[in-house]
Chain A
Amino acid sequence: MNKHPLLRAYLAGIAVPTAFLMVVAIVFTYVRYVSDVPLPIERVIVFPMAFVPNLWGLWNVLYVSIFSQRHISLGLLGALLPLLLAPMGVTVAHFLHFPIPQQIPPLAPIGLPIGMVLYYLAWKYLVGFFNTELGIG
């Protein structure tokens, strides 16, 4: 298994958010259509459905092609991804005229470190597992 390591890195990277996407879709559908929350979630669902998995894949490609040779921790690199994703998510929501609930922006200073910790753990254990299984760890 020594062919196309970057393709395998991409596939290992998108595996986790793609699997988690099912949970996201169920939660969003439930919140929107069962609980009748008056937020047009369908406008911004494109972000977790398309942007996030692709960015995970590309981030893992970046790790395999550059950072793994410099012995930088996968978890650490993964923890940096929310610093890119959070502003992107806000920008997408802004462009699609999604009304961000008022209680969310003041919580950003707490939410960002929490996201980084979750990403650190997810990348260290889940993406790391897939990388090892695909022979690129």
Chain B
Amino acid sequence: MNDPFKDDELAGIREALRQALPPVEQPELRRDLWPDMLRRLEQPPFRVPWFDWALLALTAAALAFFPALIPALVYHL
């Protein structure tokens, strides 16, 4: 059995909530995002060339041999 007072109260709460929360709008996007997505999908996978790895290894080796350089490099970074 429904309680009429409770129903009224629920209806009041429902109405108050409806007024407090405006309906969600779905505005149109300014532009189509799909071409950007396609462009990104078509990009070749990120690859680091071997000479960059070689440079990094050379630098790491040089810093291991001359650790006194590390603070000087940190100062300039």
Contact = CB atoms under 8 A, between A and B. Distances in A.
Q: How large is the interface on A (under 10, 10 to 19, 20 to 34, 35 or more residues)?
A: 20 to 34
Contacts, number: 59
Contact of A114 (B48, B69, B71): B69
B55 to A, nearest CB: 5
B62 interface: yes
B75 A48 contact: yes
Secondary structure call for the B interface: helix
B68 A24 contact: no
B74 A110 contact: no
Interface of A: 17, 20, 23-24, 27-28, 31, 44, 47-48, 52, 82, 85-86, 89, 101, 103-104, 107, 110-111, 114-115, 117-118, 120-121, 124-125
